[in-house]
Amino acid sequence: MPSMRRGVLTIPSSRAAALTRSCVSASRTPTRSIRGTSIPHRRHVSTQTATRPKTAIFFPGQGVQKVGMLTPWLEAFPSTASRIIEQIDSIVGYKLSSVIQEGPGRVLNQTHNAQPAIMATSILILQILEIEFGFHTSQRADFTLGHSLGEFAALVAGGYIEFEDSLYLTQKRAVAMEEATLRAQEEYGGEYGMVAIVTEPEYLQPLISAIHDFVGYSSDGAKSESAEDKSPIDQVLIANINSKNQIVLSGNIERIKTLVAHVRQFLGHDPRAVRLKSDSPFHSPIMKPAVAVMQQILSGKSRVPGREGEDIVRYPGDIPCISNVSARPFESKAELKDLLARQCLETVRWWDSIKYLDQEEKVRRWVGIGPGKVGRNLVGKEVGMRGKDTVKGGGVWAITDPSEIEEVLKGLEETEGLLDEEEAE
């Protein structure tokens, strides 16, 4: 039986083996070693069958970081987790694991630490699922996606970029985004950040239209050009469209306050405004210098031993990955590089991504992997939460702690044969 240590479920190897046999399709895959860590080597496998619902795996973005978030994984799987953590520290070039484990929170929350910490923790969890439970994304899922920063983990899971390369990209992206904010502050002054706007669903589209009218330009896929004639202190744009009742504004805080007052006066509606824990205006034109940094790295070669002469991006991957910018799967290597570089500047179309997978691709099972449950809750708003609403064909789960693994694997097993009537015909 599992044992509890300091409130954390510890699953013995015998139990892990039992779970593997009962909840995961047995398969053997070759392994590859990255700096001493052997992990399964994914190759394309046709995953969709006529007997199970389509499944998506998704990863969280910035803001879910928490001091000590590696502890449960180190306690439950000490050998595997330790090896992966050593690899993480080697890639980033400093003891990121100490920052994650010891904090303090103000240090972990700094963008250059928070982004690689979240991405690395997400992949650590995924690799533990692979190594300890035989859970292989290419065999169990049909799509991957990630919220902003989470897209870098989704590309690893989908087989497009190696973990080492993606973590390096994440680290450089975070530093470039911080530097872009500092540059705006030094040149123009002002306070920058992000504010979530929560409204009723029927007000969402009028709200978005009112914001576009107020700022004088749209943000749909063209921020790098549409706002070039405006100084950073005047730039406010929609950073995220997260769900049917939530968007996030990014830019100068005073300008955001003025915009919210404008909406309340002219839209006849009083949405709730919540300041997020971010001192940078992510997904706004202020981030444009970071795009150039990403483009340069993505035009280069892999940093992974044995792949030094190969392109950093592998295309096609193992399974489709959804772009934050287009809310559709990447369609070519060139498009992937372009959209991934622009992603730190463009609007995160998370709601559109979920609607696309739910309504057009008929995804019926959703598994969040990584710290926090923000992503699971946003998905659940659109497709329903298992145990609360009727979920079409499956469920919405999250693995943020070892104690949740058994429930998720069991849930996937129990829903393996559930299909919509139209899909079963």
| Phi/psi at 210 (5° precision) | -65, -35
pLDDT digits (tens, 9 = 90+) for 115-163: 999 999 999 999 999 999 999 999 999 999 999 999 999 999 999 999 9
Residue 230: the pLDDT is 66
Average pLDDT of the segment spanning 380-400: 71
Which ranges of 311-404 does DSSP label H, i.e. alpha helix? 333-342, 350-355, 374-383
Q: Could you tell me the pLDDT band of residue 370, with boundaries at 50, 70 and 90? A: very high
Q: Domains in the chain: how many in total?
A: 2
Secondary structure in 3-state letters for 102-165:
HCCHHHHCCHHHHHHHHHHHHHHHHHHHHHHHCCCHHHHCCEEEECCCHHHHHHHHCCCCCHHH
Contact 222, 270 (CB under 8 A): no
Residue 306: the pLDDT is 93
Number of H helices, E strands in the chain: 18, 12
Residues 25, 75, single domain; the answer is: yes
Residues 243, 199, single domain; the answer is: yes
Residues 107, 244, single domain; the answer is: no
User: Residue 235 above 70 pLDDT?
Assistant: yes
Of the three residues 287, 312, 332, the one that is the final residue of a domain is 287
Tokens 């009083």, residue located: 270
Q: What is the pTM of this model?
A: 0.86
Helices 288-298 and 333-342, packing angle to 10 deg: 150
Residue 33: the pLDDT is 31
Residue 213: the pLDDT is 82
Residues 281, 295, single domain; the answer is: no
Pick the residue with more confidence: 149 or 213? 149
Residues 161, 190, single domain; the answer is: no
| Helix H or strand E segment including 82 | helix 78-92
Average pLDDT of the segment spanning 398-405: 96
pLDDT digits (tens, 9 = 90+) for 296-331: 999 999 999 999 999 999 999 999 999 999 999 999
Residue 420: the pLDDT is 58
Give the whole-angstrom CA distance, residue 196 versus residue 242.
10
Residues 81, 217, single domain; the answer is: no
**CATH code of residue 312:** 3.40.366.10
Q: Which range among 11-15, 251-255, 337-341 has the greatest average pLDDT?
A: 337-341
Q: Could you tell me the pLDDT band of residue 351, with boundaries at 50, 70 and 90? A: very high
Which ranges of 189-315 does DSSP label H, i.e. alpha helix? 204-215, 223-226, 253-266, 288-298
Residue 262: the pLDDT is 85
> What's the domain range around 186?
181-287
Of the three residues 265, 287, 309, the one that is the final residue of a domain is 287
Residue numbers annotated as active site: 148, 283
Residues 133, 195, single domain; the answer is: no
Average pLDDT of the segment spanning 268-294: 91
Tokens of 70: 């590696």
Average pLDDT of the segment spanning 340-355: 96
User: Residue 218 above 70 pLDDT?
Assistant: no
Residues 268, 307, single domain; the answer is: no
Residues 380, 276, single domain; the answer is: no
Query: Helix, strand, coil: what percent of the chain each, to 5?
Result: 50, 15, 35
Mean pLDDT of the chain: 84
Residues with Cβ < 8 Å from 26, sequence gap 6 or more? 20, 134
Residues 32, 154, single domain; the answer is: yes
Residue 229: the pLDDT is 60
Q: Could you tell me the pLDDT band of residue 8, with boundaries at 50, 70 and 90? A: very low
Say whether 395 sits in a helix, a strand or coil.
strand
Tokens of 391: 């979920």
**How would you label 269-295 residue by residue, b for 16+ Cβ within 10 Å and e otherwise?**
eebebeebebbbbbbbbbbbbbbebbe
Give the whole-angstrom CA distance, residue 218 versus residue 357.
25
**CATH code of residue 254:** 3.30.70.250
Residue 268: the pLDDT is 76
Average pLDDT of the segment spanning 53-64: 95
Residue 360: the pLDDT is 96
User: Residue 354 above 70 pLDDT?
Assistant: yes
pLDDT digits (tens, 9 = 90+) for 10-48: 344 434 444 443 444 433 333 333 333 333 333 333 344
Of the three residues 247, 267, 287, the one that is the final residue of a domain is 287
When mean pLDDT is compared across 277-281, 283-287, 346-350, the lowest value belongs to: 277-281
Give the whole-angstrom CA distance, residue 409 versus residue 397.
10
Residues 45, 147, single domain; the answer is: yes
Residue 40: the pLDDT is 36
Residues 167, 302, single domain; the answer is: yes
